[in-house]
Amino acid sequence: MEFLDVVRNRRTTNGHFLPDPVSEEHQRLLVTVAGTAPSHFNSQPWRFVLVEEREVIERVADISASSMARMLSNGTFFERYKPYFRFSEEEMERRRDGMLIDQLPAVLRPFTRSVFTGAGQAMMNRLRVPRTLAEQNRQLVAGSPLLLAVLLDKEEYRPGELSGFYSVFGMGAAVENIWLTTVQLGMGIQFVSFPMEVPEAWAEIQQMLAVPDDLELMAVYRLGYVPEEARRPRIDWSSRQRKRLSQYVYRGTCRTPLSDEPGD
């Protein structure tokens, strides 16, 4: 695959992976390309943990599901992330960012627009929607053949200082290298984010991974091989829409948006 095709085909995998284990060769390749990323003064602040043990993956899945159920049932999730939800093709075409909510389980469709109201939240809780969605999340994580934990060296990761910014910047480049490589390998990757929203849940994952005091656990991803004919998930919180150049690039100063068409 040509490099630019890899970049254009990079996606988050919201569906199930194949049950096949990720080969040792591919695991080593992923963390090797991560290590080639740029970092401040070649500090290479990233650290990685590859997790294949079923009992650990199952426990992370349980933690993710319980964290999701908690956030959905108390309204935290929708309150925190409502700026990113789009409810029509017209809105998506105009904004060209966020997530288009155009496919939901039947039980949720009546509450698509009222989900951010108290009445909508109460109704979803009565219908046990948070528990249903959390179980779907648990199955996705539990069915992953590989988890990848990303950590930073606290000597470099010092929030509030420039070194902290530099270390996160480098970590992002390292993770992007991994993400792009999964495209080339026929793999998928998804951020396991819900445990990060609940401090005690995140602390339990840190304990399971035996994270030492000099490292900071920054993220956990699930990885695996994707089916050739993957069906779209019932809940697809993703979008292929991207902003036009004129919406995020400027020429010379921030007063002059870049034209969407060359030569204009």
**Which residues, 6+ apart, have CB-to-CB distance to 60 below 8 Å?**
51, 141, 147, 192, 195, 205, 208, 220
The confidence score (pLDDT) of residue 142 equals 97
Please provide the DSSP assignment of 62-93 as one string: HHHHHHHHHHHHTTHHHHHHGGGEE-SHHHHH
The confidence score (pLDDT) of residue 108 equals 62
Does residue 132 contact residue 105 with C-beta atoms inside 8 Å?
yes
**Torsion over CA: 116, 119, 123, 126 (sign):** positive
* CA Rg value for the chain: 20
Does residue 45 contact residue 152 with C-beta atoms inside 8 Å?
yes
Calpha distance 219→12 (Å, rounded): 15
- What the block records as the tokens of 15 is 């569906």
Query: Among candidates 111, 135, 119, which has minimal Cα distance to 194?
Result: 135
Rounded average pLDDT per 10-residue block, the chain, 264 residues? 88 91 98 98 98 98 96 84 82 86 61 66 76 91 98 96 95 98 96 96 98 98 90 63 92 96 83
The confidence score (pLDDT) of residue 232 equals 60
Q: What pTM, to 2 d.p., does this model score?
A: 0.87
The confidence score (pLDDT) of residue 230 equals 66
